[in-house]
Amino acid sequence: MGVSENNAHYGHRLRVYRKIGDVIYDEVYYLTENGKPVTKKREREIRALARARDKELLAIQKDYQQEMEAANPIKFHSDGRIVGLTRQQQQGKDRNVDIFKLRIRLPDGSISWGSISIDLHGFDQAFEIALNRIVEVLDINRRTKIYRKMKEAKKAY
């Protein structure tokens, strides 16, 4: 979130707020002392402190996010679907085609695209092909918890 400025009845203040993992950092820097505004010089010092702390927390937050992405390349939506694997209906000239659409973000930042026809392969086999493609591209071991969780995501589609 960064640094926000609030001017409430109990004092003018700066708030530094960041969430890193399960830990919430919520720090307040008051721009008043004993109910009166601080001097302009002191206000600049306090603002600089708040910005410096926010930069420090931002660096920690980015490191944490990179660590989490490296440890777990697969993410899930709240309803259980795999991020990057969607089920879509494509309309052709005279028919609709049911497909799984893949959009896999690779570790180097590029994206791998693909689609698997559910009409051609059947739902179960198409889902298995999609999982195999994700596993190959991201080099995920089939004996891990994340792979089992990916297989369980079939119910969400």
Answer yes or no: is pLDDT of 71 > 90.
Answer: no
Answer yes or no: is pLDDT of 142 > 80.
Answer: yes
* 118-138 pLDDT tens trace: 988 999 999 999 999 998 888
Helix residue spans in the chain (DSSP H): 40-71, 118-121, 123-138, 145-152
The confidence score (pLDDT) of residue 15 equals 93
Q: How far is CA 75 from the centre of its chain?
A: 8
* 72-109 pLDDT tens trace: 777 777 888 888 889 998 887 788 889 999 998 887 77
Q: Are 9 and 40 part of one and the same domain?
A: yes
3-state secondary structure string across 47-79? HHHHHHHHHHHHHHHHHHHHHHHHHCCCCECCC
Q: Are 18 and 40 part of one and the same domain?
A: yes
Contact 4, 14 (CB under 8 A): yes
Answer yes or no: is pLDDT of 43 > 80.
Answer: yes
* Domains identified in the chain, total number: 2
In a domain, 14, yes or no: yes
Domain of 125 in residue numbering reads as: 85-156
Q: Are 91 and 122 part of one and the same domain?
A: yes
Q: What is the band of 155 on the pLDDT scale with cuts at 50, 70, 90?
A: confident
The confidence score (pLDDT) of residue 112 equals 86
pTM equals: 0.55
Task: Among 71, 103, 129, identify where a domain stops.
Answer: 71
Q: Are 90 and 67 part of one and the same domain?
A: no
Q: Are 65 and 96 part of one and the same domain?
A: no
In a domain, 53, yes or no: yes
Q: Are 63 and 98 part of one and the same domain?
A: no
Containing 148, the helix (H) or strand (E) segment is helix 145-152
In a domain, 77, yes or no: no
